[in-house]
Structures are given as C-alpha cells and as structure tokens.
Structure 1
Amino acid sequence: MAAPGSSTLDAVAADTARSVLRDTAFLRLWAGSTASGLATWAMPFVIGLAVLHDTITPAALGLVLGVRTVGFLAAVPIGGVLADRLSRRAVVRWSGLAAALASPVLAAGLGRSVALMAVAAAVVGAGQGACRPAFQALTAEVVDPGRRQEANAAMTLAVRVTTLAGPALTAVLAAFLNVPVLLLGTGALWLAAALLPPPGSPAPAARGAGHRPGFVAEFTEGVREARRHPWFLGGLAALAAVITTGYSATGVLLPMISRDRYGTEAVLAAAVTAYAAGALLGALLIARLRPRSRGWAALAALACYGFAPLSLWAPVPALLVVAAYAVAGVGIELFNVPWFTATQREVEPRLLARVSSLDFMVSYGLAPVGLALIAPAADAFGAGPVLAVCTVACFLVPAAAALVPTARHFSRSAPA
C-alpha cells in the first residue's frame, strides 16, 4: 500500500512545489486532462446553442444530455477496473478516441436525427466516464508523492479557469462558426486528451500472471479497499450530502430567488461567477497550504458550502449571497485537492482507479438525483424549508464525517 503521509513528506512537498510545472510529463498530463475537461464542459453548452438557433428542440437537448449522463455513469466503474487491469494511459487513450470519433457523428445528427445524436452522446459520455478514474490513477504514476497536492491543484485550477473563460470564448467562436463546427472542435479536444498524456508506470495488475477474476470480482475488490479506509467512506458520505442537498438546491432555486426576491437575473450571474472565482482562489491557496490536521481542515472547508443555501434561505442583501457563493467556491477546492491527494497516497496503487471510480460515481451520479428532487420538494413544502434542510445537511454531515476514525489526517496512520 502507498506509504502514509507525514510531516516530513509535507516538507518535501513544499520544497519541490516549484518544479512540478516544469516537469514535461506532468505538463503533458495536465494538458490532456484540461482538454478533456474543456470538451466535457463545452458539449452541453454548444448543443444548447442549437436550441437557441431552433435546430433542435429543448426536449431533444434534454434527451441527448440525459443519455450522455447515463453513458458516463455506466462507464465510470468499467473504466476504473480497466485502468487497474491494463495501462492507465491506454484507458485514457481509447476512451478519448471513442469520444473524439463520436463527436462528428453527433454533429452529423444535429437537426437530422435525434436518435443518432443520442447514440453519439452516449459514446461521448462513456469516454468521459472511463477516462476520469484513469486520469486520477495516472497522476499518481506520473507525479511523485511530494508534489501531488500541487499537481492536483494545477489540475483543478485548469478546470476553474475553463469555467470562467469558457462561456465568453464559446460565445466569441459562435459568432464566426456554426454549431456543427463547434462540435467538431470538441472532438479535436478529445483527440488531444487521448494523445497528450505520457506513459505512467506499468499497470500493477499486469505484473502478475495467472487467472484473472471477472469484472464484478475486480470491482468488488476496489469496494473492499475503499472500506479499509474509514476516512474515505466518511468523506464520501459528506461529499454526497453536500452535492445532493446544497449543490442541487442552489442550482435549482437560485434562479428563482434571484428573479423573485431581488428582481434581477444579475444576482444569479454574479453568484455563479463568484463561486467559480472562489474555487479558483481555493485552488491557488491549497497548492501551498499544509494544515497539520488536513482531513479536518478539508471537511470544514466542505461544510462552507452550507453558506450558499443559507444565504438563499435568509432574506439577506444580494451582496451577501454573492459573498456566500464565493466562500462556497473556496471551500470546495480546499476539500477537493486534499481529498484527491489523500486517495492517491493512501489507496493501494493497483486498486487506485477502482476506488477513484467510486468517488466519481457518487459525486457525478447523485447530482442529477438531487436536481430532480429539489423542485418537487420545493413545490410541496416551500423553498424555505427545503433550503433549511439543505443548510443543516451541508453543515452537519461533514462535521459528523470528521468524527470518523482516521478522518483527522485522511490517513490510516497519523503523521509523525
């Protein structure tokens, strides 16, 4: 199993932080991961432009995006098993190529065949899902333990920059290029994601010969490894609670409250921008921060998401809503980066992709469930009670997770 973290390791990380962005192998990995993230974000936005141009209907958009999500969730566990069984780079390459080849098919079906678009979107979603745990495991292969926190911060920093700059860039490109060409551009991004990442270490499972168990048995082995780490289960429960309640409630109710309480959509735009900017700041901070009780610090940061539904629940000035979203953005990255780093450090290397797939299945899988349930709950009980429950859940569940054994340091062994 990977050696547990220690204060000495943290000192090494601080000493080597300056060199991680000068590592060619990491830069290739970072560029590939960034390309996949940009393609993932761009696809629904670009297809949304087709609705504005009356090329497809809103119902068709919903179907295509829903099928993409199904493909993503179905492929995440498969990608986790394959990435542990085979080369992590090979899984990234083939999943990226699948998404790249499906993107022109998606463009060809635009305005002609919703069924063809749905099939292509499912393949794109499968490529997205299969590559996520492989990228996570490949990071641990390419980057040495002392620099992984900086590497993970650089990864998430790219995501946040894309979130902030992506809409403006796409709007500019849309003034000169039509939607099919923009979809072909997402295919080019997936091609870059497939070809750029460097080779990592040989796949741990490939070193031994003999009979290999079936898919279910291998995935179950990953579940057993996750259960060996109480901090992982507690943190995953806290993340699930925040996503299902806080993230979903603010996503559904913020537009309505912006319109009805404040009389303008500007609050919605400002709050979403503040969240992305806060996350960007959080990624910059966590690249250098080394809290002694890193698990407790990360869970406390995750609980800060509760300020977002709290600001919508209470009739506060609009500026406080924006500030609450900025705090939530900072907190989510102060949790994410130590969480990814701890998983890479603590989980047995040959099982890392499978354990990471559990993380992605929960974090991505529960978001649509929460979004689907919040609106009916608000209609039945009112927005106020729903926001109150979400606020309490965001604050209390991470606090409860902090009481789990090994949660203080996100490690089965306390730092020396």
Structure 2
Amino acid sequence: MTTPAAGLRRHARRPEWAGRNYTLLTAAAIVTSLGTHGALIAAAFAVLQSGGDGGDVGLVAAARTLPLVLFLLIGGAIADRVPRHRVMVAANALNCVSQGLFAVLVLAGDPQLWQMMLLTALCGAGQAFFNPAAEGMLMSSVSGEQAGRAFALFRMAMHGAAIGGAALGGALIAAVGPGWVLAVDAAAFAVAGALRAFLDVGHIRPRQPGGGLLADLQDGWKEFSSRPWLWGIVAQFSVVVAVVGAAESVYGPLVARDELGGAGPWGIALAAFGVGTLGGALLMMRWKPRRMLLAGTLCVFPLAAPAAALAVPLPVAGLSVVMLLSGVAIEVFGVAWMTALHQEIPEDMLSRVSAYDWFGSVAMLPLATALAGPAEGLFGRRESLWGCAVLVVLVTAAVLFVPDVRNLTRRTKEVATGPAVTPSADAEGAVGRLG
C-alpha cells in the first residue's frame, strides 16, 4: 500500500509532468547523444585513416544525409500508423547493426569507401524513421501548461550529452582509435532501444483504418499546409538551416585555418555554442512567453551573427561570445516551436507533421553545403558569408508578416481544461483557433 509520505517523496524526486514515458525518453536520448556525437567525429577519422581525403569525408557525410531526406515523410506516416515506440526500437536496432558493422570494418583494418558510405546510409535511413516517431512520442508524453518546461529540460539533457559525447569521443579516438568509438555508439543504440521498448502507449487511442500510406501522407500534407504559421516557419528554416549549415560546416573551418590559428579556436567557438544551447534551455524552463512563436522567431535573427562574425572575422573571443548568444537564441526558438506543435497539432498527426517539418528544414542543406565552395570561388569567402547573414535576416523578417506567427498565444490552464474535442474536430477547427 502506498503511504502519503511515500507519495510525497516520489513527488519531491520527480516533477508531476515528468512521467514514466518522459523519463524513459530523456534517459534514452542522453545515451544516444553521448554515442552519436562521438561517432560522427569517429566516422570522419575512420575515412581519413583509411587513406581518404576531405572529399571522401564529404561523401560519407552526404551518404548519411540523403536517406534522411528521402525517407522522412514515409517515416512520419508509418509512425502515425503503428505504435511509435515500435518504430523507434526498430530504427535503433538498424542503427546498432550498421554502426556495429562499421566498427568491425574499421577495427579489422582497410575499410572501403563504398562500405563506409553504405553503412552510414543505413544509419541515416534509421534516423529518418526514428526522428518523426520520437518527436511525436515526446509530445504525447507531456500535457498541460508545463509542456514547455518539459521540452526545455529534455533538450538541455540532450545538448549536454551531445557536448560530453563529442569531447569523450575525441579523447577516445586519440586513445584507442575511431573503431572503438563506433562500437560504443552501437552499444548506445542497443541500450537506448531497450529503454524505449518499455514505453507505454496505452494512453494513445488506436489509429483508425486509413486508405494506405499515400492517403496518410496526403492527410499529413493537408494538416501541414492548412496552417500558415507552420509552413511559413518551415519555409523560413529551409533557408536558415541551409545557409547556417554552409557557413559553419564549410566556411567556419576555413576561416579558422586561415585567420584564427587553426582547429583549436574553432573548437572553442563550437563549444561556446553548445554552452549557449544549455543556457537557452535553462532559460526556457522558467520563461513562458505568451506569444511563443513571436518570441521564438525574433530569436532567429541572432543566427545571422556567426556568419557575420566569420566574415569580419572577429577574434576567437568575440566569435565565441557570438556563438554562445546564438546558441541561447536557437534554443529559445526550439522550445517555443515544440510547445506550439504540442498545443496546436492533433495527437494522431504529430509524427506526420513532424516529418514535413524535418523534411522542409533539412532538404536544402546538402545543396547549400555543395554550393558553398563554388560560391566562394565566384563571389569570395567574405562576400559569401555576408550573403548567408543577410539571407537569415531577410527570411526571418518575411515570416513575421504571417499574422499567426505574431499572434499565436500560449493557452492558459483554464482554456486548456475547457470542453474536450475529438481529434477530427480538433483538426478541422485548428486554423480558426489561431485567428
């Protein structure tokens, strides 16, 4: 029998909004972030140790990104059709096998480029199915006005693990080589998959029989395209992610090499960005802006600053401050965005809408990184960086003309506990509620 004192002790240990599913999801995300961010570094060093060059590293990176883009929409539709935790566990299993085989090849010596590309592509395909399912599962695991705080804590834990994973991965690569870091990542996927197998989906009502995968995708598109704030911000981020990615993954290392003293200063700047994301998540655990999309969108403007700082270029101290502030800003947007999706999107559409969100946000990234080199040759590096900064400012200013972006408000507890609606009624009336 549970005593009142025992109940009080449990409450003191864990907030009311941090239920069993949320705790399992957070623990699993920490485990995979620790492994994956070290493995990303290990994969690059594995290519170089096998005799590859920078172009080969780029090919392996592209092999991960391309399946992610190609399969995201299908992954979202499947995650709304079958229990999401099963999709997550299956994706983790695929990632575990692919990274384990990658580790074996590297440890055995002489891995071939095509083998590394194939295994990395399998890992990217797994992420394409995992990401929409995971986002939908996380959003369905919290409720009420504390959802923003829950999302902030989740992201803070994940970012902290990512920073630790990158640092630990770098140290392990130097000590024992990239193959063992890839093996650790495979083990991390196995542990995370085991944790996610215990997720409870009993609170999610069974899906109604539909007209097939294509019909599910069409329904998801209708849900996505019917909300100007949703597709407007995704269109904005298709540009923002592309140009910021090009600036930081292509131009940043070049500026560091030529003008800042090498990889060390660039690593310091990236670490400052990571610390900023932790600070932003901590801020959002306390701050609940009423007009959440307006607050989040205004915080996208600072993402132009790193490209501008690299164009000058600022010394490493100034660049690190800029990167730290941009990390805070993007985290404010990220929590506000997740809170808006959680509040406005029907539960049975969460994974499909998330898939369209992911797809729109990353679709232009491979093209932007591929064109970064030719753009530098045509316009010059400094001019290309200023162009990246200007594009961030322009598309962010443009999305502020969407009324729903400016006016969508966080619901109060009183409104949230009002008359219940069915999922179908919720989907049909969502646009009207934004006005």
Residues 222-371 of structure 1: pairs in structure 2 closer than 5 A: 222-371=220-369
Shift of 1:108: 2.9
Partner of 2:50: 55
Shift in Å, 1:342: 1.0
Residue 173, structure 1, aligned to residue 172, structure 2: yes
Question: Is the counterpart of residue 46 in structure 1 residue 45 in structure 2?
Answer: no
Secondary structure at the aligned position of 2:239 is classed as helix
Structure 1 letter corresponding to 2:208: G
Q: Is the 8 A contact 2:148 2:288 kept in 1?
A: no
Quote the Cα distance in structure 2 between the aligned partners of 1:288 and 1:334: 11
Question: What residue is the counterpart of 1:119 in the other structure?
Answer: 118
Which whole-Å deviations, capped at 9, do the CAs of 1:144-189 have from their partners, x for residues lacking one? Answer: 2333212221222123213322232123333554433322221111
How far apart are the structure 1 equivalents of 2:31 and 2:68?
Answer: 17
1:63 shift after superposition? 3.4
Paired position in structure 2 for 1:190: 189
Corresponding residue to 1:393 among 367, 391, 397: 391
Change (3 A) 1:86 1:409: farther
Higher alpha-carbon deviation: 317-326 or 130-139: 317-326
Q: Report the Cα distance in structure 2 between the residues aligned to 1:77 and 1:84, rounded to whole angstroms.
A: 11
Match of 1:27 among 23, 28, 36: 23
Q: Normalization by structure 1: what TM-score?
A: 0.87
User: Aligned partner of 2:403: which letter?
Assistant: P
One-letter code aligned to 1:150: R
Q: Give yes or no for contact 2:47–2:57 (8 Å, CA) kept in 1.
A: yes
Q: 2:360 is matched by which residue type in structure 1?
A: V
| Residue in structure 2 matched with residue 3 of structure 1 by the alignment | none
Q: What letter is aligned with 1:40?
A: T
Q: Equivalents in 2 of 1:254, 1:175: separation in Å?
A: 23
Deviation at 1:73, TM superposition (A): 2.1
Query: Secondary structure at the residue paired with 1:146?
Result: coil
Q: Equivalents in 2 of 1:170, 1:84: separation in Å?
A: 35
| Contact kept in structure 1, 2:242 and 2:369, CA below 8 Å | yes
In structure 2, distance between residues paired with 1:260 and 1:74: 36
Change in 2 beyond 3 A, CA 1:351/1:109: same
Residues 247, 69 of structure 1: alpha-carbon distance in 2 compared, 3 angstrom cutoff: closer
Query: Quick check: 1:298–1:339 contact (8 Å CA) kept in 2?
Result: yes
Q: Which residue identity does 2:134 align to in structure 1?
A: F
Secondary structure, counterpart of 1:118 in structure 2: helix
Deviation at 1:257, TM superposition (A): 2.5
Contact preservation (8 Å) 2:91, 2:127: yes
**Inter-partner Cα distance in structure 2 for 1:87 and 1:224:** 22
Contact 2:238–2:362 (CA under 8 A) maintained in structure 1? no
Deviates further, 56-65 or 245-254: 56-65
Q: For 2:168 and 2:17, how far apart are their aligned partners in 1? A: 25
Q: How many residue pairs are counted as aligned between the two chains?
A: 398
Structure 1 position 80 matched with structure 2 position 88: no
Matched residue type, 2:284: I
Shift of 1:311: 1.8
**Contact kept? 1:141, 1:200, Cα under 8 Å:** no
- Tell me the alpha carbon deviations over residues 82-101 of structure 1, each in whole angstroms, 9 at most, x when there is no partner: 11001011111111111112
The question of 1:97 aligning with 2:93 is answered yes
Whole-angstrom distance in 1 between the partners of 2:118 and 2:252: 33
Which deviates the most, 108-117 or 232-241?
108-117
How far apart are 1:336 and its partner, in Å? Answer: 0.8
- After superposition, the C-alpha distances for 1:207-237 in whole angstroms (9 at most, x for unaligned) are 424xx32322211211110112111112112
| Aligned 8 A contact 2:36 2:165 in 1 | no
RMSD: 2.7
TM-score, length basis structure 2:
0.83
Q: Deviations over 1:316-373 (max 9, x none)?
A: 4543322211111111111011111211221121111011011112333322222111
Q: What are the residue-to-residue correspondences of 1:145-160 with 2, within 5 Å?
A: 145-160=144-159
Secondary structure at the residue paired with 2:402? coil
Question: Does structure 2 retain, via aligned residues, the 8 Å contact 1:40–1:128?
Answer: no
Q: Distance in 1 between matches of 2:362 and 2:142?
A: 25
- In 1, distance between residues paired with 2:218 and 2:30? 30
Contact 1:303/1:394, CA 8 A, preserved across alignment: yes
**Structure 2 residue aligned with 1:36:** 32
- CA shift, 1:282, in A, is 0.7
Q: Partners in 2 of 1:96 and 1:193 — Cα distance? A: 7
Q: Does the 8 Å CA contact 2:29/2:158 hold for their aligned counterparts?
A: no
- One-letter identity of the residue aligned with 2:93: L
Deviations 1:84-129 (A, max 9, x none): 0010111111111111122222223332444333332222211112
CA 1:20–1:182: 2 relative to 1, 3 Å: farther
Find the residue that maps to 1:250 and give its secondary structure. helix
Quote the Cα distance in structure 1 between the aligned partners of 2:176 and 2:261: 35
State the Cα deviation string for residues 282-340 of structure 1 (Å, max 9, x = none). 11111221112211110010111011122223354543322211111111111011111
Deviation at 1:397, TM superposition (A): 1.3
Residues 87, 202 of structure 1: 8 Å contact kept: no
Identity, % of aligned positions: 27
Instruction: Report SS of the residue matched to 1:38.
Output: helix
C-alpha displacement at 1:201, in angstroms? 4.3
Q: Which residue in 1 is equivalent to 2:103?
A: 107
Deviations for 1:51-88, whole angstroms, at most 9, x for unmatched residues?
45x23523554433322222222332121011100101
For the residues of structure 2 that align with 1:208 and 1:413, how far apart are their CA atoms?
Answer: 25
Distance of 2:201 and 2:166 partners within structure 1: 33
Counterpart amino acid of 2:393?
F
Deviation, 1:29, is 0.9
Q: What does residue 66 of structure 2 align with?
A: 70
Deviation at 1:142, TM superposition (A): 1.6
CA distance in 2, matches of 1:269, 1:39: 19
Range with bigger deviation, 306-315 or 340-349 = 306-315
